[in-house]
Structure 1
Amino acid sequence: MQLIKDQMQRYEERELVEFENQGIKIFGVLHKPLAQTKAPAVLFCHGLAGHRIGKHRMYVALSECLSRVGIASFRFDFRGSGDSEGEFGEMTLEGEVSDAVKALEFLTIQEKIDPNRIGIFGRSFGGAISIFAAQKFGNVKSIALWSSVFDAEQWEKQWEMLETGQIDEKTRHELMRINGQLPSLHFYKELFNMDLKKELRALQNIPMQLIHGEKDPRVGIEHSEKYANLRKDAPAQTEFIKLEHSDHDFTYPEERVHAINMTCQWFAKTL
């Protein structure tokens, strides 16, 4: 066991941490590269009903990759997800943005973290949260988004059935359920009123990477295309990578590894 621990610590140290936001305890893991005295750092925002580990441990793998190139990272669970306090059914868009901003503030005051070289990474609904949080925080230097939600247009028919009450209670709950969990109707109202355009305009000078699977049935690639289209005249670089064989969770192994490597390189270049 000691040998395994020593091998892990050759390039990073990991720390289980917690902070409090609006009376709720938020838990996460901070990865710090050993070689750096003041390292740049990336905040991870997981998707809806997800957690800080990610499918196939993809967030852990990305954090390890970042540590190897001298970049710290902070993977945390939003309220009502993973180990953090709160109930998923009480989760709101506004609450998740608040958690992400508080996490950014927490990250910047950590020893050995350079507060002026902070990036943010978001996947799925966590991508939208990343945009709101980056604009609100105001000191994010680079952004990377995987399979990111842009708006709720894809699910308009589903919302119409929920809003008009033309289905029974059991069917309504099945339509609302996400990864086996049931968000509130209030959350769905927030989702269908969500508009990222103002925030994206405010972030035109920040480089952004977009990675999306072409076979994603859950959040179609048109979401990332909308991000790219809104940034076509942005002064900062926009990199859009399409994964030919990948679904929403990047289950195609070779392309998942490619996404991890490309995002690791992205932050190494832009932070």
Structure 2
Amino acid sequence: MVIACHGLLSSKDSPKYVALADALAAAGLACARFDFSGCGDSEGALEQTTVARRVAELHAVAEALSAHPLVAGNVGLMGSSLGGFIALRHAKGDPRVLAVVSWAAPADLTDLQGEEELLLRHGLGRPLLEELERGEGLEAPGGLHRCLFLHGSADALVPVAHARALYARAAEPRALELLPGADHVLSDPAARAEAVARTVAWFTRFLLDGAA
């Protein structure tokens, strides 16, 4: 089972998550896509979003899936952008998670500090701004095993340096793979297909093949 976490302003129905779910299913792995509150089909307001709240929501999804009679076996997490950051935060405290793949994830959220006007313009609210001001939980954890960090070499929103930092603080086995010329959202179909293929291969290796 792989749980996919979308980015700050995205949703579970983004074409890249649908394509990933289809590819994982073809490889024999179930994929759960969900919307964080205030996004897509979920209830709630985007302006109430915080990092801590999204971590808690991912935890709730993982708990619900673990109790489902049709879900068994190892768990993997995939996340794009902030979703990757959230996935890493959750994985640090959940021993059921055996592998993580992040796409264009930030190593920390300090670049958002001081961006009040930008965040408000995109529908975010005071709870997130206050969380950023407090500086709580703004750095992705280290020491995680079986992490794959995928990043577009032309990502202008989250520079490649973030991926290198995440890789540096992860534990073996780990991998950092750059997608030449790819932007933050993998708008090029070829780059998106490559990211999907590498993600499926990583989860197949650790969730199905039993690699250590």
- The alignment's TM-score, normalised by the length of structure 2, stands at 0.90
Alpha-carbon separation, structure 1, partners of 2:131 and 2:80: 18
1:120: how far off? 0.5
Alpha-carbon separation, structure 1, partners of 2:13 and 2:82: 16
- In structure 1, runs of 5+ residues without a counterpart are 1-40, 163-171
Alpha-carbon separation, structure 2, partners of 1:153 and 1:97: 18
1:155: how far off? 4.3
1:96: how far off? 0.6
* 1:78 alignment partner, one of 36, 41, 60: 36
1:264: how far off? 0.6
State percent identity of aligned pairs: 27
Structure 2 residue aligned with 1:266: 202
Structure with the larger strand share: 1
Alpha-carbon separation, structure 2, partners of 1:226 and 1:188: 24
Alignment length (residue pairs): 205
Matched, 1:250 2:186: yes
Superimposed CA distance per residue, residues 108-128 of structure 1 (whole angstroms, 9 cap, x where no aligned partner) = 2223322x4000001100111
Structure 1 residue aligned with 2:9: 49
Contact 1:93 1:191 in 2 (8 A): no
State the AA in 2 paired with 1:196. E
Contact 1:88 1:181 in 2 (8 A): no
* 2:154 alignment partner, one of 210, 215, 228: 215
Alpha-carbon separation, structure 1, partners of 2:178 and 2:130: 30
Q: 1:214 to 1:191 in 2, by over 3 A?
A: farther
- In structure 2, runs of 5+ residues without a counterpart are 208-212
Q: Which has the higher contact order (CA 8 A, sep 6+)?
A: 2
1:24-39 matches, cutoff 5 A:
none
Contact 1:97 1:132 in 2 (8 A): yes
Structure 1 residue aligned with 2:119: 176
State the AA in 1 paired with 2:155. D
Contact 2:112 2:132 in 1 (8 A): no
Structure 2 residue aligned with 1:200: 142
Superimposed CA distance per residue, residues 45-73 of structure 1 (whole angstroms, 9 cap, x where no aligned partner) = 1000110022xx01000000000111001
Matched, 1:146 2:106: no
Matched, 1:230 2:174: no
Structure 1 residue aligned with 2:55: 97
Larger CA Rg, structure 1 vs 2: 1
